[in-house]
């Protein structure tokens, strides 16, 4: 891979293909795959990722909001797109762009039926979400009769799928809870299908569910973080490849004496003669202030360099007293050598947060 000459986020499509194929290998041949590409495809580049996955014949995409789905349609994505949290104000746009809504309570269901009817739709595909324990979004089990009664009184929509979301599929200490969720969802789906008179597609598992609960794969699985190289466990991470590598360079090296300070508020005081490097990336790029004060680190010439003092808006300073390096040398914030989960752990957070936080002002480099 080329050495960085500025702050860049490299996106490795070969790694994406590897992860897709690894997750697909866990499934039966007739189980569909839904790729979650919300939040700029977990901080990378949604258009590039979606186009590549569409070429790999992924069955569905999911985004959080309507504007994300519109951006994919504008980029030429024709694969079905599920919008996980649509807002009523965007329902007309959703229909115009052939996006498919998740309907999760009576208010949203009734609002969408009204708009779909107004737009003269027939059998418009919708997805009904049930709450089985996450307690975030979703109808309750006892709402089945109400939902069916609404469906029987309109021809404007038709249920494409029923789904729910596992709360703790990565935590095997919560296996009993997860199995209860699976049982509950299967019961809801059976009741719903019997009452409505047809069988919608069923999907329940996220990445960890794909790995840990094959009995819950059903008709389709949803994968987000797994596509980008993280399996929510050290064991599974070994089978996956991080898609994104965040790189920068050393802008300047300073030699400081004992008692000298570094950065705002003089929050780092040298304990002796030290060398520091200034790197052009900061909290405006997604490296939060909580990574400062020697919690976070970067990799320079294969060695860890702790982030010292306060993270600035556009820069961080690191201690390089023990590293042979020079101005212009490449710096790895996270990637294959030291992945985002390790970087995130230094500030007691998770890979999701750091990879989705990388600012859009950071240049994306696509490795094909």
Rounded to 5 degrees, what are φ and ψ at 307?
Answer: -75, 125
Domains of the chain plus CATH, in order, are 13-230 (3.20.20.10), 244-367 (2.40.37.10)
pLDDT in tens, 333-359: 999 989 999 999 999 999 999 999 999
Residue among 264, 295, 304, 336 flagged as catalytic: 264
Q: Is 22 assigned a catalytic role?
A: no
Q: Can you tell me the distance from the alpha carbon of 141 to that of 138, in angstroms, rounded to the nearest whole number?
A: 9
pLDDT attached to residue 93: 98
pLDDT in tens, 171-187: 999 999 999 999 999 99
**72 Cα distance to chain centroid:** 16
- Residue 232 reports pLDDT greater than 80: no
pLDDT attached to residue 168: 97
Mean per-residue pLDDT, 183-200: 97
pLDDT in tens, 154-172: 999 999 999 999 999 999 9
Tokens read off for 355: 């990879």
Identify whether the C-beta of residue 15 lies closer than 8 Å to the C-beta of residue 259.
no
Identify whether the C-beta of residue 77 lies closer than 8 Å to the C-beta of residue 61.
yes
Q: Identify the CA nearest to 146 among candidates 200, 110, 121.
A: 110
- Residue 1 reports pLDDT greater than 80: no
pLDDT attached to residue 236: 85
Q: Is 38 assigned a catalytic role?
A: yes
**Mean pLDDT across the chain:** 97
What pTM, to 2 d.p., does this model score?
A: 0.95
Identify whether the C-beta of residue 336 lies closer than 8 Å to the C-beta of residue 242.
yes
Task: Label residue 141 by pLDDT band (50, 70, 90).
Answer: very high
- Residue 316 reports pLDDT greater than 90: yes
Residue entry with tokens 């080329």: 2
């Amino acid at each position: 891979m080329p050495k960085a000459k500025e702050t860049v986020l490299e996106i490795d499509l070969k790694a994406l293909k590897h992860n897709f194929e690894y997750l697909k290998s866990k499934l039966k041949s007739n189980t569909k795959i839904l790729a979650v590409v919300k939040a700029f495809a977990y901080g990378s580049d949604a258009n590039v990722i979606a186009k590549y996955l569409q070429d790999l014949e992924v069955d569905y995409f999911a985004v959080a909001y309507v504007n994300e789905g519109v951006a994919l349609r504008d980029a030429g994505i024709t694969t079905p797109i599920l919008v996980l949290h649509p807002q009523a104000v965007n329902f007309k746009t959703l229909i115009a762009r052939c996006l498919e809504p998740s309907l999760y309570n009576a208010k949203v269901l009734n609002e969408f039926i009204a708009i779909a009817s107004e737009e003269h739709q027939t059998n418009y595909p919708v997805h009904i979400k049930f709450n089985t324990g996450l307690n975030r979004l979703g109808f309750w089990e006892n709402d089945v009769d109400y939902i069916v009664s609404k469906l029987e009184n309109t021809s404007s929509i038709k249920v494409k799928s029923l789904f729910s979301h596992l709360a703790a599929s990565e935590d095997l200490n919560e296996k009993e809870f997860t199995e209860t969720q699976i049982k509950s969802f299967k019961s809801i789906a059976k009741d719903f299908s019997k009452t409505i008179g047809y069988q919608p597609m069923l999907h329940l598992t996220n990445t960890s569910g794909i790995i840990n609960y094959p009995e819950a794969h059903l008709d389709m699985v949803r994968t987000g973080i797994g596509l980008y190289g993280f399996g929510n466990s050290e064991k599974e991470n070994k089978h996956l490849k991080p898609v994104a590598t965040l790189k920068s360079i050393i802008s300047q090296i300073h030699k400081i004496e004992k008692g000298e300070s570094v950065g705002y508020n003089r929050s780092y005081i040298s304990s002796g003669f030290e060398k520091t490097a200034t790197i052009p990336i900061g909290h405006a790029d997604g490296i939060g202030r909580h990574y400062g004060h020697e919690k976070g680190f970067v990799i320079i010439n294969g060695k860890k360099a702790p982030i010292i003092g306060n993270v600035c808006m556009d820069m961080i300073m690191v201690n390089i007293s023990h590293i042979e390096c020079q101005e212009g040398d490449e710096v790895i914030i996270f990637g294959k050598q030291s992945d985002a989960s390790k970087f995130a752990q230094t500030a007691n957070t998770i890979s999701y947060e750091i990879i989705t936080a990388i600012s859009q002002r950071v240049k994306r480099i696509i490795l094909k």
